[in-house]
Amino acid sequence: MYARSDTHFLLFIYDNLRNALLDRSLSRAQSRAQSPSTDFPARSSSFSSHYSLLREVLSRSADTSLRVYEREFYDAEYGSGPGGWDTIARKWNKVALFADGPGGVKHDIYKAVHAWRDKVAREEDDSTR
């Protein structure tokens, strides 16, 4: 039931997007045909020009679907990697919290809180990653 309600409008959306792409391709072809700078005959009714944007979108979609997910590197000890504690400290210019900055209690607490937050976020994440 949940999946059905989630996908109920997908065919409608697909039809609307496809029609918009076809309309845009047709209007592009017609504007090129009316342009005085073109030296070739108008082919607005040809299959190739009418479906050019649709083919481009489908090609990009195929490229996207072939991408393989690679997990981002994260080193909890030194905080390196996207979303790591050192990366965040540098972003917010918190020198005392940098991996190569002065150590101390603040540094250790910051690392511990970040590790706890990361652990809880990964446990409760609904992502497919």
pTM: 0.45
Angle between helices 10-34 and 52-65 (to 10 degrees): 130
Residues 5-54: tens digit of each pLDDT = 778 889 999 999 999 998 988 888 777 777 665 555 444 445 566 778 88
The H or E element spanning position 52 is: helix 52-65
